Structure 1
């Protein structure tokens, strides 16, 4: 049985949907900040999806973010090590500075600029020190939970135009594809323990939003480009956070599909609920 703490989010839902061997539990059912080996009874592996992901809130709530993103994964990894079972920690592109100009390799220097990124990086250290795996991903969206795709769909139905930043580059990742990759990782367990898994290719939030409008059958020209400076946020966002999948492929794992084809597949899977009786925008 593969235990998935924080399993009620978009990634946990997809893991459970893809494998009958997955037991996805909520944070209320299993608090990673107080986990022990006894809580993992019956597990053959652990994929940790529990995380404090409120990037802006973490700037003033770093203690709580640290508990969930660093202390919890460390305790999980230690418990897994004591039982001799593998643990996979899901991490983020935010551990990098975002100042790069080419896809980040797993061996590149890190340098988070936000509290969220700092706490996730510390979680990585603790998991790797205990012999676990770390998989960094980016721009995750899925059928369950809140995400950028659903936000854009909601705005498309309520605004004639909208502005989206065009100076932040990354790789959108459908949670279904990442879930499939994580399950493959559990079955392979390569020697390399730090990996990147994202949708293939790269884009900007602006171009991602236009692609979402295309999938909605809306005019993508209604999405206009703007800069990060136009919409300041409490936590700095990486300007460039494309992650290289070289280590993933070298480990014998199948690359995730290209982000654009994955987006089309996600729409076919119902990432945005079909609309009925909606009046067209004037």
Structure 2
């Protein structure tokens, strides 16, 4: 038995999980359960695995994140995004272990003019947001120690995300149309992982803030079009081909699920209560590209 913290990380190959593994490996006793070893649609299997490991902390970045597909997979989205987090919260509470869980800007409808604060009324536009909100509520209903970290526009140098899609399309096409009326903060999965590690460190050092819901995104804001411009700029600096970019409204790019026009989250509470601030989105993008 080592004296190190035993951590159960739910989800193996997702963007946030991959970045967390890089930072936690060797620092804690890390147990990673991916979809091949843990079926999140089976509550009994979740309970069995958690009880077998008896971790001192559970981190849950696993989710059904296919926003459009969720519209036709409501039952699956709710099983993974709502029911499973509630079961993890119950088991964490039974062990006296905190749960760190990640949620989303999609719990809001995007109609507010200013960045959203944690206390703002929720109003999801689609199944993905509804299921993630139900997961938040299930965790809160248990009443154990928990951090629910809402983030947005997550990307990494691995997985499936806007950064990698844009890098490919910008080099393949002469011209590319990108939505310009949705505003948010592109947030590198590494930023989320770095902040999570700092939160764990503060908790272990006896400097924890209050448990609850917090917003965690990169600082600053842009549109998807602006994000694409920043990606294109780095391609050109690297001497690679880059398409001409054209801004379009969301109405020109219809999708099965509606997206919030305002995805900006005010992260001041996390900094005030836990002393954890975030990197600027543009700086984080450059760091992500350097690491790739």
TM-score for the superposition, normalised by structure 1: 0.92
Deviation at 1:193, TM superposition (A): 1.1
Q: What are the equivalent positions in structure 2 for 1:1-282 lying under 5 Å apart?
A: 1-20=6-25, 21=28, 22-33=30-41, 34=43, 35-36=46-47, 38-40=49-51, 41-130=53-142, 131=144, 132-187=146-201, 188=203, 189-217=208-236, 222-270=244-292
Aligned residues: 270
Secondary structure, aligned partner of 1:155:
helix
Contact 1:165 1:227 in 2 (8 A): yes
Unpaired segments of 5 or more residues in structure 2? Answer: 1-5
Unaligned runs of 5+ in 1: 271-282
Q: CA RMSD in A?
A: 1.5
CA distances 1:156-189 after superposition (whole Å, capped 9, x unpaired):
1110110100000011101011011112222324
Aligned partner of residue 47 in structure 1, secondary structure: strand
- Whether the 8 Å CA contact 2:170–2:242 is kept in 1: the answer is no
Aligned partners of 1:143 and 1:25: how far apart in 2?
A: 22
- The structural deviation recorded for 1:220 is 7.0
**4-13 or 109-118: bigger deviation:** 4-13
Retained in 2: the 8 A contact 1:95–1:121? yes
* Alignment-derived partner of residue 275 in structure 1: none
Q: Which moved more, 1:21-30 or 1:73-82?
A: 21-30
Report the TM-score when normalising by structure 2.
0.89
Question: Structure 1 residues 151, 87: CA separation in 2 closer, same or farther (over 3 Å shift)?
Answer: same
